Amino acid sequence: MGNEKIARVRARPVVVPMARPLRTASGAVADAPLVLFDLVTSGGVTGRSYIFAYDAALLPALVSVADGIAESLTGRSVAPARRMWELQDRFRLPGMQGLVGMVVSGIEMALWDALGHLTAKPVATLLGGEPVPLRAYDSYGMAEPGQELKDSVDAGFRGVKIKLGYPDARRDVEVVSRVREIIGPEVALMVDYNQSLTPQEARRRIDSLREFDLYWIEEPVPAEDLAGHAYVRRTTGAMIQTGENWWFPEGCRAAIAAGACDFAMFDLMKIGGFTGWTLAAGQAGAASLPVSSHLFVEASAHAMAVTPSPGWVEYLDLAGPVVREPCRPVDGHITPKGPGLGITWDEDAIERLSP
- Where do contacts with Mg ion occur on this chain (CB under 5 A)? 192, 218
Rg over CA atoms, the chain: 20
Shortest distance (Å) from residue 139 CB to Mg ion: 8
Judged by beta carbon, residue 86 or residue 224, the one nearer Mg ion is 224
- Residue (117 or 294) nearer to Mg ion, CB: 294
Concerning whether 163 is annotated as a catalytic residue, the answer is: yes
Smallest gap from residue 192 Cβ to Mg ion (A): 4
Give the Cα separation of 102 and 234 in Å (integer): 32
Instruction: Based on the residue annotation, tell me whether 294 is a catalytic residue of this protein.
Output: yes
Cα separation of 15 and 173, whole Å? 34
Query: Based on CB atoms, which residue is closest to Mg ion, 172 or 192?
Result: 192
Comparison of 192 and 298: residue with beta carbon closer to Mg ion? 192
Nearest distance, CB of residue 246 and Mg ion, angstroms: 12
Q: Least distance from C-beta 216 to Mg ion, angstroms?
A: 10
- Rounded to an integer, what distance in angstroms lies between the CA atom of residue 48 and that of residue 342? 9
| Residue (41 or 139) nearer to Mg ion, CB | 139
Q: Are 161 and 191 in contact (CB under 8 A)?
A: yes
Closest residue to Mg ion, judged by C-beta, is 192
| Catalytic residue from among 161, 229, 294, 337 | 294
| Residue type for position 101 | G
Q: Which of 66, 86, 85 is nearest to 13 (CA)?
A: 66
Strand extents, DSSP E, the chain:
6-24, 27-41, 46-52, 134-139, 159-163, 188-192, 214-218, 240-242, 263-266, 291-293, 313-315, 333-334
CA quadruple 95, 96, 100, 106: dihedral, nearest 10: 170
Q: How far apart are CA 163 and CA 304, in angstroms?
A: 23
Which one of the listed residues 161, 163, 229, 270 is annotated catalytic? 163
Q: How far is the CB of 41 from Mg ion (least distance, A)?
A: 35
CA distance 220 to 165: 9
Give the residue numbers marked as catalytic: 163, 294
